Structure 1
C-alpha cells in the first residue's frame, strides 16, 4: 500500500510546479502590460489625444491588481527553497543567491520605488514625470525578468562555476554564469512571449467591447495595437523559438529528443506532428510525421543527423516524456494561431474593415487566454524537459530534496491549494469584472489625489482638465 502513496520528492515537485505555474501567469501578463502602459502614456503626451489617456487609466487598474497577485504568489518560492529543497539551496546558493539578490536590489526596488507614483501620482507630479515613473516600472519588470531568467538559464546550461569540496557550486566567472549558453535565447523568447500574452488579452478585451459598440474609440485603440503586436511579433517569436531550439539541441539534447518524440538516432529525421511516446518500449506510437523536417530545423540540413533518446543513458531521460512532447505541441500550435490572427488582421486592416468584422473579433476573444496557456506549456517544456536534474547534468532532483517527511509536504501542499484557489480565484474573478467594464471617455484610474500646489504656483485649469479628460494643453501657468 505504501508503494502506491506519493513520496516526499513527488509531493515537493508537484507543490513547486503548482505554485510556480500560478505565479508565472501574472508576470507573463504584467511584463508586457507595463510596457504597453508606457507606450500608451507616451502616445498621449505626444499626440494630446485623450483616448490614449483613457485607455491608459483603464489598463492601469488591471495592472495594479495583476501586479499585486504576482508579488504575493512569488513570495512562497523562497519558502519552498528553505523547506522542501534545502539541499538544492545549499549547493546552489553561492550562484543563485547573488543573482536573486541582484533582482531584489535592482528590479524590485525600481518597481517599488516608482509603482506608487505610477498608480497614484498623475495628479501630483505632472504628466512628464509620471511618464518617467511608468517607464521605470516597465524597465523594472524587464530587469526582473533578466535576473530570474539568468538564474534559471544557469540551471539549464550551467557555466562559469567550479565545484567545491563540499559539493557547492562556486562562482568563477559572473559573466559566464549570467550569460550562460542558453540565456540570450531564453530571455528573448520569454520576454517576447510575455508581450504576446499581453497582446492577446488586450486584443480580446478590445474585441469584446467592439462586439458591443463598434464605434468605441478606446476599444479600437486596444484592438488595433494588439493586432499590430500579433502581426509583427508572433512571426518573430517563431524565428526566436527556432534559434532557441537549435541552442537546446546542442546543450540539452535529451530535452529536444523528448520534445520531438525521437527515440532513434536518424538522418533525415521526421518532425512528428502527433503521436504518443512510449518510454518503456522506446517508440512513439501512431505517428503523423513530416519526413526530414526535424533534421532541417534542428541541423539546418535535410540530411542532418538528429540524436534520439536511445543515444543517452536512460537514467538521464526526462521523467515524463509525454508531458514534454504534448506541452511543446500546445505551445507551437497556439503560436501558429497567433500568427494566423495577426495575418488576418493585416489583411482586414488593408481592406479598411478591421473594426467591422465580428468574426475576427470573436476569433480574438477566443484567443484571449492563448498567451497564458502557451507560456505555461513552454515553461512545462523547459522544466519537465530538464528532469531528472535540477542543475542539468550536475545535480539530480532526487538529490536536491530536503530530508522532510511526505505527510509534512502533503499538509503544506493542501494548504497552498486551498489558499491559492480562494485568493487568486477571487483576484482573477475581479480582473474579469474589470475586463467587462467598457472603456469610456474620462476613464477613472486608481485614485490620483489632488494636484501639487506650492506657494505662488498652481496648476493651470487646462492641466487639471487634461489630466481628467485628456483633451486640453498641459502648459502650467505661474500666478503673479
Structure 2
C-alpha cells in the first residue's frame, strides 16, 4: 500500500526535496562563478595600474567569495547524496553516461579550484604577484569549467544523444563527443554563464549603491565598484536577452511541449501565432484565461512567418504535459527581470554620459532593489527548464516516476523537514554574515584631490556635511 506524508506520496516528496536543495545550492555558484572572474579582473587591474582602490575592492570581495564558495561546496555535497537515496534507479540507469562526466568535473574543476584557492586567499605577500595572479585566474577558470561539466550533464538529460540502451535498461555511451556536446549544451552553457556574470554584477552594483546611498561617494573603491557593475549590466544584459532567445529556439526544436507551456499555447494556431503577455493558465479546461497578447508576432519570434501555424498543447496527451502554470509564470519572471536588468544598464549609461553616475539617487535605489534580482532570475530559469521537462527526467527516454527509489513517504518527508530546518539555520546564518561583510566600507585609498565635489554638493546629497569615515579608513574628509 502506497503511503503518504502530509498528503504527498514519496515521489512528490523526493521531487520537492531535490528542488529545494538544488535551488538552495545554485544561488551560491551562480554568485561565485561571476565573483571569481570579478576578483581576477580586480587583481589584474591592481597589478597593472598600482591603484590601491582595486586592491581594497579585491580584499573586500575576497572574504565574501570565500564564504560563498564554502557554502556552495557544502550544499552541493549534501545534494549529491540524494542521487543514491531518493533517485537510485536514475543513478543506476544513467550512471554509465553521467557518472564519468561528474568525475571529470571533480578532477578538472574542483581540484583546480581547491588547489589554487588557498594561494588566492592567503598567498599575497607570501608568493610573488605573478603566482598570486595565476592562482586567482585558475580559480576563476575552475568555476567556469565546473559549470561546463555540470551543464553538459544536465543538458544531456534534456537532449540525450550519443547513447544506446543495454538489456538491463541502462544508458550506455556510444559517442562521448555527442554525449558531452549534445544539442542543447552550447546554448545552455552560454546562457547560464552569462546569467552568473549578471547575477554578480547586480549584487556588486547593489552593494555599491547601498554605500553610495549611505553617503560614501568619496570612497574611490565604492565608486569603482558601482561603475564596474553598471558597465557589466549595460553590456551583458542585452546580450543575455539575445542568448536566451537563441536557447528558446533550440528548446522549441527539441522540446516543443516545454515552449508551448512557457508561452501558454493550449490551442492550435492555424493562421498566425500570438505572443501572450499575460493570462491565467487553466490546464484542466485546456485554455489560457484572461489572455492578453499581441496577434501573430509569436511566429517571427519562433523563427516562423507571420501567418505560420503551430500545434498547441491540445495535441499533446495530458500525461505528457508539464505543469503549465508553474512553467508559464516562472518564464515570465525570468524574462521580466532580464528586461529590468537591461533597463537599469541603459539608465546607467545615460546618467554616466550626463556625468551623474554617483549622484543619481534614484538609480542607486533601483540598483539596490535589483541587487538580488539575478538570483531570482536564475532560480526562475531553472524552474522553467526543469519543470518544463516533466514528466521526463531524461527527455523522451525515462519518466521521473520511473527514476525514484522505493522509499516510504514518511522517511522522505522527515528528511525533507530536516533539510529545511538545517538549511535555513546554517545557511541563513551564513547569508546573514555575508550581509554584514557587504555592509562594511572597503578600506579607503588615499584621498584623491582631483575629485570635483561641486556637482555632488549641488545635487543636495550631503551639502556641507562631512561623511562618516569607516573604521580603518585613511582618507581625510573634503574641506568645506
TM-score using structure 2 length: 0.91
Q: Partners in 1 of 2:253 and 2:312 — Cα distance?
A: 13
Q: Point out where structure 1 has 5 or more consecutive residues left out of the alignment.
A: 444-467, 471-480
Q: Partners in 2 of 1:239 and 1:249 — Cα distance?
A: 15
Shift of 1:2: 6.8
Q: What are the superposed Cα offsets for residues 172-214 of structure 1, whole Å, 9 maximum, x if unpaired? A: 1111011101000000000000000000000000111111212
Shift of 1:469: 11
Q: Point out where structure 2 has 5 or more consecutive residues left out of the alignment.
A: 447-471, 475-480
Shift of 1:300: 4.1
1:188-227 correspondence to structure 2 within 5 Å = 188-212=190-214, 213-227=216-230
1:154-193 correspondence to structure 2 within 5 Å = 154-193=156-195
Q: Is the counterpart of residue 388 in structure 1 residue 402 in structure 2?
A: no
Q: Partners in 2 of 1:88 and 1:364 — Cα distance?
A: 42
Report how many aligned residue pairs link the two structures: 445
Shift of 1:317: 0.6
| Aligned residue in 2 for 1:247 | 250
Q: Is the counterpart of residue 420 in structure 1 residue 423 in structure 2?
A: yes
Q: Is the counterpart of residue 335 in structure 1 residue 338 in structure 2?
A: yes
Tell me, what secondary structure is at the counterpart of 1:404? Answer: coil
| Aligned residue in 2 for 1:9 | 11
| Cα contact 1:277–1:284 (8 A) shared by 2 | yes
| Cα contact 2:221–2:445 (8 A) shared by 1 | no
| Cα contact 2:109–2:142 (8 A) shared by 1 | yes
Shift of 1:313: 2.0
| Cα contact 1:94–1:171 (8 A) shared by 2 | yes
1:228-307 correspondence to structure 2 within 5 Å = 228-266=231-269, 267-307=271-311
| Aligned residue in 1 for 2:454 | none
Q: Partners in 2 of 1:307 and 1:85 — Cα distance?
A: 34
Change (3 A) 1:377 1:198: same
Structure 1 residue ranges (4+ consecutive) displaced by more than 4 angstroms after TM superposition? 1-4
Shift of 1:308: 1.4
Q: Partners in 2 of 1:43 and 1:301 — Cα distance?
A: 48
| Aligned residue in 1 for 2:353 | 350
| Aligned residue in 2 for 1:462 | none
1:71-150 correspondence to structure 2 within 5 Å = 71-150=73-152
TM-score using structure 1 length: 0.91
Shift of 1:265: 2.1
Q: Partners in 2 of 1:304 and 1:429 — Cα distance?
A: 52
| Cα contact 2:56–2:445 (8 A) shared by 1 | yes
Name the stretch that deviates more: 306-315 or 48-57. Answer: 306-315
Tell me, what secondary structure is at the counterpart of 2:125? Answer: helix
| Cα contact 1:37–1:59 (8 A) shared by 2 | yes
Q: Partners in 2 of 1:215 and 1:305 — Cα distance?
A: 59
| Cα contact 1:253–1:307 (8 A) shared by 2 | no
